[in-house]
């Protein structure tokens, strides 16, 4: 893995088939910065801790930002995860709101750290909306690299 890589898992919220996936970003210590429960906010996990949050057999995919991006996004995430105090999916909150948060945290890391809208549709922090894990991994600014299975 490289600094700025995005980890995507097939994790589901309870038994919901509507809310699928989870994203985090790899920082310069090769730890994963993300927003999750039961922390109920932002956290940084080493790889063992991150893997323990996933069920055995769960697939985790690695996506790499294009054009050498990702380092500044990872730095932004590392400096700002502590301001996320609540994990929640808020479909009509502003994209720039840090708390509550979920997968839009990765969008924010790239917006503030790299100066790009991952979805490439001219989103800005003052717009209301949401970012799903699939929106992050379907970004034209990332490419699939590999996957591994949680044990």
The arithmetic mean of pLDDT across residues 78-83, rounded, is 97
Domains held by the chain: number: 1
Distance CA 37, CA 116 (A): 27
The answer for residues whose C-beta is within 8 angstroms of residue 48's C-beta and 6 or more apart is: none
Instruction: Identify whether 14 is part of a domain.
Output: yes
Instruction: Identify whether 66 is part of a domain.
Output: yes
Task: Dump pLDDT digits (tens) for 134-150.
Answer: 999 999 999 999 999 88
Instruction: Identify whether 104 is part of a domain.
Output: yes
Q: Which pTM was predicted?
A: 0.92
Q: What is the CATH number of the domain that holds 22?
A: 3.90.1720.10
Q: How many Å separate Cα 70 from the centre of its chain?
A: 12
Instruction: Identify whether 70 is part of a domain.
Output: yes
Instruction: Identify whether 1 is part of a domain.
Output: no
pLDDT band at residue 17 under the 50/70/90 scheme: very low
Tell me which residue range forms the domain holding 34.
6-149
Please say if the pLDDT value at position 20 is more than 90. Answer: no
The arithmetic mean of pLDDT across residues 38-57, rounded, is 89
């Amino acid at each position: 893995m490289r600094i700025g890589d995005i980890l995507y898992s097939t994790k589901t919220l309870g038994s919901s088939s509507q809310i699928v996936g989870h994203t985090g970003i790899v920082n310069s210590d090769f730890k994963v910065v993300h927003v999750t429960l039961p922390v109920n906010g932002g956290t940084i996990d080493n790889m063992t801790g991150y893997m323990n949050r996933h069920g055995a057999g769960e697939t985790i995919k690695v996506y790499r930002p294009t054009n050498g991006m990702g380092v500044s996004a990872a730095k932004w995430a590392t400096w700002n995860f502590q301001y996320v105090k609540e994990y929640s999916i808020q479909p009509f909150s502003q994209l720039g709101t840090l708390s509550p948060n979920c997968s839009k945290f990765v969008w924010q890391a790239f917006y503030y750290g790299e100066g790009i809208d991952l979805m490439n549709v001219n989103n800005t922090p003052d717009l209301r909306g949401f970012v799903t894990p699939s929106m992050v991994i379907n970004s034209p600014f990332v490419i699939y690299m590999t996957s591994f299975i949680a044990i």
